[in-house]
Amino acid sequence: MSDAHSVTQLLEQWNHGDREALDKLMPLIYEELRKMAKRYMSQQNPGHTLQTTALIHEAYLRMVKQKEKHFQNRAHFFGVAAQAMRHILVDYARARHAGKRGGGVRPVSLEEAALVSPERAAELIAFDEALKELEELSQRQSRVVELRYFGGLSVDETATVLKVSPETVMRDWNMAKTWLHRALSPAGEV
Distance CA(141)–CA(147), nearest Å, equals 10
How much is the pTM? 0.64
Specify the range with the lowest mean pLDDT, choosing from 16-20, 134-138, 140-144, 177-181. Answer: 16-20
Of 44 and 80, more confident? 80
Distance CA(154)–CA(176), nearest Å, equals 16
For residues 55 and 115, the answer to whether their CB atoms sit within 8 Å is yes
Q: What are residue 116's phi and psi, to 5 degrees?
A: -125, 120
Percentage of the residues of the chain whose pLDDT score is greater than 70 = 77
Of 124 and 8, more confident? 8
Compute the average pLDDT of residues 29-38: 84
For residues 93 and 120, the answer to whether their CB atoms sit within 8 Å is yes
pLDDT digits (tens, 9 = 90+) for 135-156: 999 999 998 988 888 777 889 9
Of 133 and 62, more confident? 133
* Residue ranges per structural domain of the chain: 3-184
Q: What are residue 109's phi and psi, to 5 degrees?
A: -70, 165
Distance CA(85)–CA(36), nearest Å, equals 9
pLDDT digits (tens, 9 = 90+) for 90-131: 777 777 665 554 444 444 443 444 445 555 667 777 888 888
Specify the range with the lowest mean pLDDT, choosing from 62-66, 151-155, 184-188. Answer: 184-188
Q: What are residue 94's phi and psi, to 5 degrees?
A: -65, -40
User: Does the structure show a pLDDT above 90 at 157?
Assistant: no
